[in-house]
């Protein structure tokens, strides 16, 4: 039983259709506002991105034109690299005879200053065959002993005595040494 009735209110209870339409309209309004805001943000983003792309493109074109204008220098630079690479590649094949010959003479002199290089064969893989001449039999024996010295041996990957002729040739006792030098970079 109703206690009171508001006679001044014109509102009537909604029917089902009105209620649904009201709800739908309310949701649609909210979404419309949200989508509207999103669209404004998107348009802003599109504008900013388009500007940035245009700026980047024009910067790229400027850089490209700088590179194009310096094409002659770039070609010269490539030529320089090409020939320099060849130079180093070919020099790799060299025996570096002077570096090894002069260092051999110095090394032999550290053992016996009377020692002489009688013949010197060297290959680009640093392998060698050297004939060392010594004036006396005793000096040759002392020289042989010194070959095992660590400091002397440290200059070689391998070092072996091929032969030792106890009969002197032209007053020289000849020791034939063979082996491989440790790599030097003389060029």
Instruction: Answer yes or no: are the C-beta atoms of 110 and 152 closer than 8 Å.
Output: yes
CB count, 10 Å around CB of 111? 19
Alpha-helix runs per DSSP H in 70-113? 71-91, 97-111
Torsion angles phi and psi, residue 76, rounded to 5: -60, -40
Nearest distance from C-beta of residue 109 to another protein, angstroms? 14
In angstroms, the CA 124 to CA 119 distance is 17
134: contact with another protein by CB under 8 A: no
Q: Of residues 76-105, which lie at the interface with another protein (CB under 8 A)?
A: 76-87, 90-91, 93-95, 97-98, 101
Cβ proximity to another protein: between 43 and 161 the closer is 43
Instruction: Answer yes or no: are the C-beta atoms of 165 and 112 closer than 8 Å.
Output: no
Q: Which stretch binds another protein (CB under 8 A): 111-119, 143-151, 155-163, 177-185?
A: 111-119
By CB under 8 A, name the binding residues for another protein. Answer: 15, 17-18, 20-22, 24-25, 28-29, 31-32, 35-36, 38-39, 42-43, 45-46, 49-50, 52-53, 56-57, 59-60, 63-64, 66-67, 70, 73-87, 90-91, 93-95, 97-98, 101, 116-124, 187
């Amino acid at each position: 039983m109703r206690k009171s009735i508001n006679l001044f209110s014109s509102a009537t209870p909604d029917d089902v259709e009105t209620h649904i339409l009201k709800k739908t309209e309310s949701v649609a309004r909210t979404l419309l506002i949200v989508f509207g805001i999103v669209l404004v943000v998107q348009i802003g983003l599109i504008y900013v991105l388009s500007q940035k792309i245009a700026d980047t493109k024009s910067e790229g074109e400027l850089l490209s034109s700088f590179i194009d204008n310096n094409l002659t220098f770039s070609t010269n630079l490539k030529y320089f690299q090409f020939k320099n690479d060849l130079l180093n590649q070919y020099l790799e094949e060299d025996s570096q005879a002077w570096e090894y010959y002069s260092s051999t003479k110095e090394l032999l002199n550290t053992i016996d200053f009377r020692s002489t290089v009688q013949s010197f064969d060297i290959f680009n893989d640093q392998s060698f065959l050297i004939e060392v001449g010594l004036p006396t039999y005793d000096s040759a024996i002392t020289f042989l002993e010194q070959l095992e010295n660590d400091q002397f041996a440290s200059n070689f990957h391998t070092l072996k005595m091929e032969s030792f002729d106890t009969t002197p040739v032209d007053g020289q006792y000849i020791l034939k040494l063979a082996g491989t030098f440790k790599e030097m970079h003389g060029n």
